Structure 1
């Protein structure tokens, strides 16, 4: 009887190991090899790839830009997603079903397709600039393509459903009697939201922010299309190292450093929020 749960989960664990752990381990070991333009990948073991990334200000700039874009995307997703999830929670069941379908609808469309749509909107001759020029609000197009701001805007649209669903799931565990009691005592809606609702949805905000940050930091399609060659992030840099310069060990080292950095930031953020949340409850 004790072996049955393990046997039932064996297919999923096997699939997880084959599709994720095995390539991850291969990338990790590859990062310690060296590369020569005439000899290719050399089967040696050294830390020179990691030393090159850590000692070069060019890679520091790319990592800083990547995490800045991920943090900005997480902030705007939380700013827009928390009120949206609260409104979704307060809707009647009939309207709630419709709105949930609207929220998760973009997830049914490819990220590439959605990003190409943003490229049409944000281009110098795109819909937004053309409309502003036709209305006489601007004389020259506003540069929105190939900027970090354009990438943040598109990533916010891409990952907002994950924040809304995470916060909405936390709201499902909220005790409605507490909110009703505060309302009966004369508390205003904003006070109820700030003093009662918001502290109870912090776990949902935490889980949503972790999902959004990790996905935004490792996203490739949106920065590649909207950032081009001007705004490089870690994911596009890894792509260039693997397919353009063919320096696979260096690309693997950059990928492993991105994975380690994201995990450290997520664990630190988790500990910080849980500590503040615990102090608030006490």
Structure 2
């Protein structure tokens, strides 16, 4: 009995020790970023705090058109979150609840697109939108959003498949159409999956897409992810001197919304993934 208690305690200590170690490893880059954003401009990078120069954040917001780039990020992120969350739910509902010839084959074809690296389709997509005259506009993001996301469709499909058929049949007896069943019955009880898809879409759009805006937009419409690494910060009067500390301050402000959204929605993120995996 004592041996079992000792072994259980040792196991918990080991698990918690590993969790603490991994937490430190993952937090270290953010710590380095924040620490160096407060260093004196022109000083060398360090893991140890060397000052509290909050003016770097003022320079980060004023030396470039930071808020214009933020506006572009908000527009692109809104398109990439709101529309795919709804369209993916509609497609996932169709795969889960509707019957039709070739449905399984189409679902496998849709899943296979997750194996295709996005960079492979960048050049053909660029040529298509160039011929349509959509460069330096937000129209490409709108068209991509209408198609939804393969992973999001998969999550919705798995979640919707778990609902009992009696629920749907009772709604049809009451005269509900297919779309009304989807919108009034399935969607209101799918909040964990909706939150999961929204958080993942937000993270992918706000902080995970640097190359696509660089290809399709001009610098006046860049989102922050592209502008901070393309425009950069140079010392006034001498463009050869890069203000690394100010760039770090701009990056801290850039990642702050991602951190806030994650901490607010982490419970729904875990619940949504687990619900789709277990119930499906």
TM-score > 0.5 by shorter chain? yes
CA contact (8 A) 1:73 1:213 kept: yes
Q: Which one of 35, 38, 41 corresponds to residue 29 of structure 1?
A: 35
Cα offset, 1:63, TM superposition: 0.9
Q: Which residue of 2 aligns with 1:222?
A: 212
Q: Which one of 159, 162, 169 corresponds to residue 151 of structure 2?
A: 162
Q: Distance in 1 between matches of 2:173 and 2:259?
A: 44
Structure 1 gap segments, 5+ residues each = 130-141, 272-282
The structure whose RCO (Cα within 8 Å, separation 6+) is larger is 2
Cα offset, 1:220, TM superposition: 1.0
Q: Distance in 1 between matches of 2:203 and 2:22?
A: 22
2:194 is the alignment partner of 1:205: yes
How many aligned positions are there?
A: 250
Q: Which one of 245, 248, 255 corresponds to residue 252 of structure 1?
A: 248
Q: Which residue of 2 aligns with 1:136?
A: none
The 5-angstrom pairing of residues 1-282 of structure 1 reads 1-4=8-11, 7=14, 14=21, 17-18=24-25, 20-36=26-42, 44-54=51-61, 58-90=65-97, 95=102, 97-123=104-130, 126=131, 129=132, 142=133, 144-154=134-144, 156=145, 160-218=149-207, 219-240=209-230, 241=232, 246-264=242-260
Cα offset, 1:31, TM superposition: 1.2
Q: How much is the aligned-residue C-alpha RMSD, in angstroms?
A: 3.5
Cα offset, 1:193, TM superposition: 1.9
Deviations 1:109-155 (A, max 9, x none): 223223333212111xx3xx3xxxxxxxxxxxx3x11223334544x
Deviations 1:176-196 (A, max 9, x none): 321122123332223222221
Cα offset, 1:66, TM superposition: 0.3
CA contact (8 A) 1:116 1:225 kept: no
Deviations 1:12-62 (A, max 9, x none): 8755653x32222211212112334xx776954311121223456811111
CA contact (8 A) 1:32 1:249 kept: yes
TM-score, length of structure 2 as denominator length: 0.73
Q: Distance in 2 between matches of 1:163 and 1:68?
A: 21
Deviates more, 1:182-191 or 1:241-250: 241-250
Cα offset, 1:209, TM superposition: 1.0
CA contact (8 A) 2:76 2:205 kept: yes
Cα offset, 1:71, TM superposition: 0.7
Q: Distance in 1 between matches of 2:12 and 2:101?
A: 38
